[in-house]
């Protein structure tokens, strides 16, 4: 037993359960529901899923499982388990190319809950029993508590409900991660308690996850880093969107609707979102806070620039260089960053109380502000709804951003009717494209349509949208739609590869 | 000054402001935003709106206002103000025939927020300034506080933000209503506090609404009763739906998923909802609680039957006979009934904490469980989304009920794609029609479609739905839809008055 193992596994009884990945993976069998840690490719197990895939490929045995995670995980999980045919069912949000193909071929059944709701639904038994949980840890404490690594996600719940637990202790994750996390479990009705958070930076829980030590059937030592993805430089459209957003926030401050510290910021994942955060580096706001799912590059930049005083999330989703920088300066960052369970970061209760400014990305919006976040042409999943619905539904103001055109102008992101609805117009206050910003607050459907067409649509699609809108109005009603041609743009695109 | 006035207006300064309705209505002028009490035709002002309409009709003056209420109000408000051309803009949920016509002709701009979100949005200024609030009161206390009558709705917020306040003291409402209400204001970000409610029956606020007495510009004495609507006897379909629902709840209790006291019940308004409550009279559950918007006949029946120990709502929506019964037995009922502001009854925070069983009515559902609650054929408003989204989004389990066919079988309530989305499939767990119950929890879209078609669709539409589903699958994808024919049933109905 190495001193490294002793340092990382401080409970001597649990230390005896260290084994290799293949032995641990033997606990996973056909028909099981398996829950793994991880949220955006951070803090996911890296050895057991690979060993499982290897075993199944070698033996040719039938092994189909239902896999739960916090959100998207690394290739060691989703690629390995998809290509080896192990994934029968998967929940929730994912970003893996192989898995996406499997889901869209309906080889893999996919469930897409709001990320903030999943913990509770797992505990209520909506998805049946959880047979094995595989959770990456930084350390196991003397008491047998588990300190997570670069994400928390749904792991506290998985540890609570799983029949068996496998821990991957990852020595590539620095020990100083201990203390970064704040684990609070609100419990369930009828005995659920208020979540006492009233400021993004408050600590209300414990720095570790509790688990019944008797359930830990195996511990595997690993030393492999997370494989986060880098983001490209923002393009012109992203920069323009970001300017409109900052101008809007400045206007709200000038009007006295928001303090100069704004309200806690939430931003989705991806290039538009990251660019929006970058746009805040030169703003006149100060002492900003973040209450979001992910701590991404843009957040770190704002902390470094002295703009953000505190950031709360459930995962670090940093590009490789920024992750290295973060982990090398943990002593500094742990004063300004906290990782929580996703049922807390994405809790409607807390988001509503703090008054988060919700900034998310749309795949497409219609002229009323119904938003599609997840499916191309109505049927093909991209990633999933993620936490966008948690924040859009409960935030102080709900903003959706998208470039007005895609595919070199063949696709308009502003359409007569969205081909899939993730967020209804009730939950969408502001639409921003590089063309402009539509402030829909206080507007009836008719005004919303005029505003979105005029301010957000690309000029090359604006006349066609106006034509659709005039035609819809002929049919009358409070919410004019022309059901005969509402999807004609999408149908056209399927045939000609252009919405025009 | 009569002793009745002294008894009802205990503050002598405010008592001096008693005047007639016409004088009070003179404060309301063209271009103003006017906020009135009332939630489902209960507790709305009855004299000032009528006097306003009379004045405008007599003078021929231009007077268009933006009217805010808690939810639907009586004819004295919505009919009078619509037919006299005073309503330019209206928020939120309504049930008035004249107003509905005005909205669908787009003569009246209509905003349809989630009922639980509106208070906060008003205070944030999403809808601009509120010039005058007109609020029905039972009494005005020595301190100048206002005791509401049969509903609370958004009135505490209206009193807080309005520049001028007119109070209608209604002597037809019994004095014993004092003590029925519990007014708690959570405040706004960044200083919003947790709502401390952890049981439906807890009192966490004050029995009156606060207002700056200097803002009260007029008090009008009235003695007119609320004009609630009676509900018909449940038909066969309603009774069948109610049986499936009770069986489902019983099954959940048997499985150990729910205690025998269930969790707090929420039910929408209307005949299906009332029938569902009636179905619980003979159930084996006990000590039930209600945490809902409205206290309707079915709730009172269950209290009388000893099944419900406590009911919390924001309004009494009783048939005339039941309202009379309630008001005559107030001493009894105030131990088991409480009225709260709608931002508390419909608070996502509280609904989620208590774990409400959300039971709402669908206009139509599609094969994936997306639900339309508000618009016929996509464009014509019926009533509005109401609070269904507050409960469906935050409840422990979200149930939608609808008869499988309407219009003597010409319309299927289960359609390929809903023509308007109020609730996405993420927020819909159970669909019930008189044909059966589809439990969609843990199901991917493909399984949801098969289950809804098999269990919920009417046999006369089932084959056509299967055909659509098979055609959709040919297009592939995780969420198979055929955009070319998705609305063909609705389009067909427009042409032939039948979806067949």
Q: Sign of the CA dihedral B123, B125, B129, B132?
A: negative
> d(Cα B168, Cα B166) in Å, to the nearest integer?
7
Q: What is the pLDDT of residue A426?
A: 98
Nearest CA in chain A to B289: A190
- ∠ CA B245-B250-B255, rounded to 5°: 125
Return the bridge partners of A358, or none.
A266, A398
Q: Which of B104, B352, B426 lies nearest to residue A389, judging by beta carbons?
A: B426
B67 close to B34: Cβ distance less than 8 angstroms: yes
Query: Other C-beta atoms within 10 Å of A11: how many?
Result: 18
E strands along A173-224, which residues? 216-222
Closest CA to B318 of B388, B238, B229, B224: B229
> Is B126 in Cβ contact with A259 (below 8 Å)?
no
Q: Which residues on chain B are in Cβ contact (under 8 Å) with A106?
A: 444, 446, 476-478, 480
Regions of chain B short of the pLDDT cut 50: none
Peptide bond between residue A190 and the one before it cis (omega within 30 degrees of 0):
yes
How far is B382 from chain A, CA to nearest CA, in Å? 10
> d(Cα A11, Cα B284) in Å, to the nearest integer?
49
> d(Cα A344, Cα A183) in Å, to the nearest integer?
9
Q: Mutate which of B479, B480, B481 to test chain A, going by most A C-beta atoms within 10 A? A: B479
HSE at residue A232, side-chain half, CA atoms within 13 A, is 7
Q: What is the pLDDT of residue B278?
A: 84
Domains A3-222 and A236-499 share a fold: yes
Closest CA to B69 of B81, B77, B57: B77
> d(Cα B31, Cα B66) in Å, to the nearest integer?
7
Q: Sign of the CA dihedral A102, A103, A104, A106?
A: positive
Predicted confidence band of residue A234 (pLDDT cuts 50, 70, 90): confident
Q: What is the pLDDT of residue B1?
A: 57
How does pLDDT run across B109-131, given as a tens digit for each residue? 999 999 999 999 999 999 999 99
How far is B232 from chain A, CA to nearest CA, in Å? 28
Q: What is the pLDDT of residue A270?
A: 75
> d(Cα A317, Cα A71) in Å, to the nearest integer?
12
How does pLDDT run across B277-327, given as a tens digit for each residue? 888 888 899 999 999 999 998 899 999 999 999 999 999 988 888 888 998
- ∠ CA B312-B318-B321, rounded to 5°: 135
> Is A103 in Cβ contact with B355 (below 8 Å)?
no
Q: Which residues on chain A are in Cβ contact (under 8 Å) with B261?
A: 190
DSSP per-residue string spanning A10-72: --HHHHTTEE-HHHHHTT--TT-EEEE--SSSSS---SHHHHHHHHHHHH-----EEEE-SS-
Q: What is the pLDDT of residue B231?
A: 67
A423 close to A364: Cβ distance less than 8 angstroms: no
Q: Which residues on chain A are in Cβ contact (under 8 Å) with B487?
A: 483-484, 486-487
> Is A422 in Cβ contact with B424 (below 8 Å)?
yes
Q: Sign of the CA dihedral A392, A393, A394, A395?
A: positive
A187 close to B355: Cβ distance less than 8 angstroms: no
- Is residue A4 pLDDT above 60, yes or no? yes
Query: Other C-beta atoms within 10 Å of B97: how many?
Result: 12
Predicted confidence band of residue A282 (pLDDT cuts 50, 70, 90): confident
A385-392 average pLDDT score:
97
Element (H, E) at A90: strand A87-91
How does pLDDT run across A57-66, given as a tens digit for each residue? 999 999 999 9
Element (H, E) at A393: helix A388-394
Closest CA to B117 of B314, B345, B343: B343
B90 close to B108: Cβ distance less than 8 angstroms: yes
> d(Cα A47, Cα A166) in Å, to the nearest integer?
11
Closest CA to B134 of B8, B44, B23: B44
Q: Look up the ipTM and state it.
A: 0.97
> d(Cα B91, Cα A335) in Å, to the nearest integer?
45
How does pLDDT run across A136-190, given as a tens digit for each residue? 999 999 999 999 999 999 999 999 999 999 999 999 999 999 999 999 999 999 9
A139 close to A9: Cβ distance less than 8 angstroms: yes
Return the bridge partners of A169, or none.
A137, A221
HEC profile of B179-221? CCECECCCCCCCCCCCCCCCCCCCCCCECCECCCHHHEEEEEE
Q: Which residues on chain A are in Cβ contact (under 8 Å) with B387?
A: none
> d(Cα A228, Cα A65) in Å, to the nearest integer?
25
Predicted confidence band of residue A231 (pLDDT cuts 50, 70, 90): low
**CA gyration radius, chain B:** 23
Closest CA to B186 of B195, B178, B177, B199: B195
- Non-local CB neighbours of B83 within 8 Å, separated by 6+ positions: B53, B98
Q: What is the pLDDT of residue A228?
A: 73
> d(Cα B125, Cα B147) in Å, to the nearest integer?
26
**What long-range pairs does A232-237 form, CB within 8 A, spacing at least 24?**
A232/A271, A234/A271, A234/A272, A234/A274, A234/A275, A234/A278, A235/A271, A236/A434, A237/A403, A237/A404, A237/A433, A237/A434
Nearest CA in chain B to A88: B444
- What sections of B38-187 are H helices per DSSP? 48-59, 75-83, 97-104, 118-123, 155-161
**Helix B297-304 vs helix B320-328: crossing angle, to nearest 10:** 50
At B66 the three-state DSSP class reads strand
Query: Other C-beta atoms within 10 Å of B31: how many?
Result: 11
Chain centroid, CA B415 distance in Å: 25
Q: For chain B, give every domain's residue range.
A: 3-222, 236-499
Average pLDDT, chain A: 96
Query: Other C-beta atoms within 10 Å of A128: how many?
Result: 11
B236-499: what fold?
Glutaconate Coenzyme A-transferase (3.40.1080)
Q: Which residues on chain B are in Cβ contact (under 8 Å) with A104?
A: 476-478
> d(Cα A218, Cα A137) in Å, to the nearest integer?
13
Q: Mutate which of B310, B424, B471 to test chain A, going by most A C-beta atoms within 10 A? A: B424
> Is A478 in Cβ contact with B110 (below 8 Å)?
yes
Q: Sign of the CA dihedral B24, B27, B30, B36?
A: negative
How far is A89 from chain B, CA to nearest CA, in Å? 9
Q: What is the pLDDT of residue B227?
A: 81
The dotted CATH code for A3-222 is 3.40.1080.10
**What percentage of chain A exceeds 70 in pLDDT?**
99
How does pLDDT run across A413-425, given as a tens digit for each residue? 999 999 999 999 9
User: Cα separations (Å) of A129 from A32, A36, A112, A186, B150?
Assistant: 9, 14, 18, 21, 46
Closest CA to B376 of B89, B100, B107: B100
Which amino acids of B are annotated catalytic?
293
A408 close to A398: Cβ distance less than 8 angstroms: no
B433 close to B241: Cβ distance less than 8 angstroms: yes
**C-alpha torsion angle, residues A86, A88, A94, A97 (rounded to 10):** 60
Closest CA to A333 of A304, A354, A362: A304
Return the bridge partners of B296, or none.
B317
How far is A260 from chain B, CA to nearest CA, in Å? 12
User: Cα separations (Å) of A79 from A72, A95, A135, A231, B494?
Assistant: 11, 10, 18, 20, 48
> d(Cα A200, Cα A203) in Å, to the nearest integer?
9
Element (H, E) at B350: helix B348-354
């Amino acid at each position: 037993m190495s001193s490294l193992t002793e340092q990382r596994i401080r409970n001597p009884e649990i230390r005896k359960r260290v084994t290799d990945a293949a032995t641990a993976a033997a606990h996973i069998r056909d028909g099981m529901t398996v829950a793994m840690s991880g949220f955006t490719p951070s803090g996911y197990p890296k050895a057991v899923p690979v060993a499982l895939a290897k075993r199944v490929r070698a033996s040719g045995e039938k092994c189909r499982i239902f896999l739960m995670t916090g959100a998207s995980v690394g290739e060691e999980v989703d690629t390995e388990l998809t290509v080896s045919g192990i994934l029968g069912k998967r929940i929730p949000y994912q970003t893996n190319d192989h898995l996406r193909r499997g889901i869209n071929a309906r080889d893999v059944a996919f469930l897409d809950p709001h990320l903030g709701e999943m913990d509770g639904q797992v505990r209520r038994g909506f998805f049946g029993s959880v047979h094995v949980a595989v959770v990456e840890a930084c350390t196991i404490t003397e008491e047998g508590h588990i300190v997570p690594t670069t994400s928390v996600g749904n792991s506290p719940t998985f540890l609570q409900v799983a029949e068996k637990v496998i821990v991957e202790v990852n020595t590539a994750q620095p020990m100083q991660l201990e203390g970064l996390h704040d684990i609070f479990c609100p419990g369930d009705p009828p005995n659920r308690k208020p979540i006492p958070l009233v400021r993004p930076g408050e600590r209300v829980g414990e720095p570790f996850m509790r688990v019944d030590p008797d359930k830990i059937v195996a511990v595997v030592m690993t030393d492999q880093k997370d494989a986060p993805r880098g983001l490209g430089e923002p393009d012109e459209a992203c920069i323009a969107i970001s300017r409109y957003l900052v101008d809007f926030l400045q206007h709200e401050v000038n009007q006295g609707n928001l303090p100069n510290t704004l309200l806690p910021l939430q931003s989705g994942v991806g290039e538009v979102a990251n660019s929006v955060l970058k746009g805040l580096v030169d703003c006149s706001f100060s002492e900003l806070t973040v209450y979001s799912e992910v701590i991404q590059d843009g957040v770190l930049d704002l902390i470094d620039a002295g703009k953000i005083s505190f950031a709360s999330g459930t995962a670090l989703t940093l590009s490789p260089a920024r992750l290295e920088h973060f982990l090398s300066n943990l002593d500094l960052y742990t004063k300004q960053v906290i990782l929580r369970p996703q049922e807390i970061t994405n809790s409607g209760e807390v988001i509503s109380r703090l008054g988060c400014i919700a900034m998310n990305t749309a795949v497409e919006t219609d002229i009323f502000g119904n938003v599609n976040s997840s499916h191309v042409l109505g049927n093909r999943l991209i990633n999933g709804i993620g936490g966008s619905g948690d924040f859009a539904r409960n935030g102080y103001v709900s903003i959706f951003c998208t470039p007005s055109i895609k595919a070199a102008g063949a696709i308009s992101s502003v359409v007569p009717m969205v081909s899939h609805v993730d967020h209804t117009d009730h939950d969408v206050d502001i639409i921003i494209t590089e063309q402009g910003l539509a402030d829909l607050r206080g507007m009836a459907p008719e005004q919303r349509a005029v505003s979105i067409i005029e301010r957000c649509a690309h000029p090359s699609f604006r006349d066609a949208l106006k034509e659709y809108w005039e035609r819809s109005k002929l049919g009358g009603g409070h919410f004019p739609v022309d059901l005969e041609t509402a999807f004609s743009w999408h149908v056209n695109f399927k045939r000609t590869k252009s919405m025009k």
